[in-house]
Amino acid sequence: ASVTDKDILQDQKTVEDVVSNGLGPRGQRYSPLDKINTDTVKDMRPVWSFSFGGEKQRGQESQPMVKDGVMYVTASYSRVFAVDTKTGDELWEYNARLPDGIMPCCDVINRGVALYDDLVIFGTLDAKLVALDAKTGKVKWKKTVADYKEGYSITAAPMVVNGKVITGVSGGEFGIVGKAEAYDAKTGKILWSRPTVEGHMGYIWKDGKKVENGISGGKPGQTWPGDLWKSGGAATWLGGTYDPDTNSLFIGTGNPAPWNSHMRPGDNLFSSSRLAIDPDTGKIKWHFQTTPHDGWDYDGVNELIAFDYMDGGKTVKAAATADRNGFMYVLNRTNGDFIRGFPFVDEISWATGLDKKGRPIYNEKMRPGNPSASEDGKKGSSVHAVPAFLGGKNWMPMAYSQDTELFYVPSNEWGMDIWNEPTAYKKGAAYLGAGFTIKPLTEDHIGVLRAMDPKTGKEVWRYQNFSPLWGGVLATAGNLVFIGTPEGYLKGFDAKTGEVKYQFNTGSGIVGSPITWEQDGEQFLSVVSGWGGAVPLWGGEVAKRIKHLNQGGSVWTFKLPKS
Ligand code: PQQ
């Protein structure tokens, strides 16, 4: 069951396995399989369901991987399971046995493994990378990426690029310093480390020696006041994608710390940005900041997906991302230049648009007020800003169909009351300086799955959902688009029209990302079910509205009946 670099690079084309997060390193989540299609999908049935067990069933955000008849899937509390893809039988379980002091901000989730050689590699909530023997689940190597006592954790799936495991870190709510790191996949030896806050030194390891590799961006504090860059956040909490074409890792960065933007005048690089990083050296090739001087926790980790399109007979090497701030961006992926941007939500209040370079034109009335301007200095004026900080879109990945040339964007319509408070950095403590309540904008829906045309910015179709959408999307050559809902449904849509073609209730909310593969000539589809993640914890009035949703923890596998 050995996975090679070639297997990973070819993953989108080789349908008999799924060996990358995103069904291909670019993360398009598009499969050329078409046996399950708009005509046949009505007959699709579950063939098995596997329970993750455990007393505490929390959010299940994993994307499963499949290789040689074995599924590798992660579960809440840093667990990994190997399951027989034909029967749903458990082959082994690994449980990371976490210390008491872990501090994940947004549920005890994990988004999946990376596969390489005979190893199953994943990140834990106590900020370690663990490589397991794919056959037995026994630990082959284990490395500490960062100190969980400072607030670091890992929730993202690592990725493997040319023999290197790439990981990010979570912890943006605790004033950590974000970073991307590369480790030798076979041995776990560290190769380079690249901090994502301006002014911090990067390192590369040569013959086991740690060598300085240039500071990240400008001088320490150039776009930060005083010493705030030392605890500047910009967590790389969603990992990233890889574009073989330009040999770039695309890694997003989270909010600047603290949330209270009056404490840190300036752009606060490289927070709320997309970075193109050289996988060989860890150098930042270019950056694009979606929300300079972020004052709303709009963050910037959302996936940047490489795709090509034709413009007047010329191929444009583009990449697209749908940001928490409500704008979708199409960039030139060779240099990070802004091509176009447009809203993908119905309402944006904090900015009136984007300028020629893609920088937001702020509506300063929508920036939460400065606490020091208030009478007692304890609470700044509150604003109702749209989108809410959980974003027009959060971590849940969109898909790009090579057939329709549309992006399928899982989005949410909500706003928030937000205000600032004084705060100070203390190691291992929350570092926000803000209070907030998320509120729905309409009675009947929050979630909207949108088909967006990246060439025009037009919405081609939409599906509205009562609860916020929090799971990933899958597009297939069968003219289908799949997504799960917090109500528990796996839903399939006609990719061209948005007509609902399939639904099946998995018994708990879906916040995982579906995959599809082929085995012995049959097309399979799997999705993880188990409601949780940030919404029930941080969702304010939205969380109250959907508190009836039940937790769970299982993976479901579907196929067509044998003809
Ligand atoms: N995680 C979720 C989720 O899994 O539902 C939602 C969020 C996170 C957010 O909205 C965040 O802002 C966020 N921020 C960080 C960070 O700044 O380090 C980490 C995470 C995470 O690791 O899950 C989330």
Q: Is the CB of 169 under 6 A from ligand 1?
A: no
ipTM of the complex: 0.99
Confidence check: pLDDT of 563 > 90: no
End-to-end CA distance of the chain: 30
Q: pTM, whole model, 2 decimals?
A: 0.98
Active site residue 118: no
CB atoms within 10 A of CB 132: 23
Q: What Rg value do the Cα atoms of the chain yield, rounded?
A: 22
Instruction: Evaluate: CB of 546 within 6 angstroms of ligand 1.
Output: no
Asked if the model's pLDDT at residue 372 lies above 80, the reply is yes
**What tens digit of pLDDT does each residue of 404-421 get?**
999 999 999 999 999 999
Residue 271 has pLDDT above 90, yes or no: yes
What is the tens place of the pLDDT at every residue in 463-487? 999 999 999 999 999 999 999 999 9
Going from the Cα of 280 to the center of ligand 1, the distance in angstroms, rounded, reads 27
Q: Report how far residue 67's alpha carbon sits from residue 234's, in angstroms, rounded to the nearest whole number.
A: 34
Q: Out of 17, 243, 297, 323, which one is annotated catalytic?
A: 297
pLDDT per position as a tens digit, 530-545: 999 999 999 999 999 9
User: Which pairs with CB-CB distance under 8 Å and at least 24 residues apart come from 183-190?
Assistant: 183/129, 183/143, 185/114, 185/116, 185/117, 185/119, 185/121, 185/131, 185/160, 186/116, 186/117, 186/119, 187/141, 188/129, 188/131, 188/141, 188/142, 188/143, 190/143
Percent pLDDT > 70 in the chain is: 100
Helix (H) or strand (E) run with residue 538 in it:
helix 534-538
Q: Whole-angstrom Cα distance, residue 75 to residue 80?
A: 6
State which ligand 1 atom lies nearest to the alpha carbon of 233: 17
The H or E element that residue 5 is part of is helix 5-9
Q: For 198-230, what is each residue's pLDDT tens digit?
A: 999 999 999 889 999 999 999 999 999 999 999
| Cα–Cα dist 369/386, whole Å | 16
Measured CA to CA, the distance from residue 311 to residue 199 in angstroms comes to 39
Strands 30-31, 473-476: pairing is parallel
Confirm or reject: Cβ of 254 under 6 Å from ligand 1: yes
For the CA of 511, the closest atom of ligand 1 is 5
Kindly give the distance from the C-alpha atom of residue 42 to the centroid of ligand 1, in angstroms, as a whole number: 35
pLDDT at 57: 86
Choose which residue among 394, 396, 431 to substitute to test ligand 1 binding: the one with the highest number of ligand atoms within 8 A of its C-beta: 394
Give the atom of ligand 1 at the shortest distance from the alpha carbon of 534: 5
Taking the CA of residue 155 as reference, the ligand 1 atom at the shortest distance is 22
151 CB near ligand 1 (under 6 Å): no
Cα dihedral: 538, 542, 545, 548 (round 10): -40
Tens digits of per-residue pLDDT, 76-134? 999 999 999 999 999 999 999 999 999 999 999 999 999 999 999 999 999 999 999 99
Nearest residue by C-alpha to atom 14 in ligand 1: 172
Per residue in 147-166, pLDDT (tens digit) is: 999 999 999 999 999 999 99
CA 436 to centroid of ligand 1, rounded, Å? 16
Distance 368 CA to ligand 1 centre (A): 21
Tell whether the model's pLDDT for residue 255 goes beyond 90. yes
Among the atoms of ligand 1, which is closest to the Cα of residue 238?
22
Query: In which band, very low, low, confident or very high, does the pLDDT at 360 lie, cut at 50, 70 and 90?
Result: very high
* pLDDT of the residue at 1: 60
Cis peptide before 288 (omega within 30 of 0): no
Q: Is ligand 1 within 6 A of the CB of residue 71?
A: no
Residue 3 CA neighbour count, 13 Å, CB half: 36
- Residue 170 CB–ligand 1 contact under 6 Å: yes
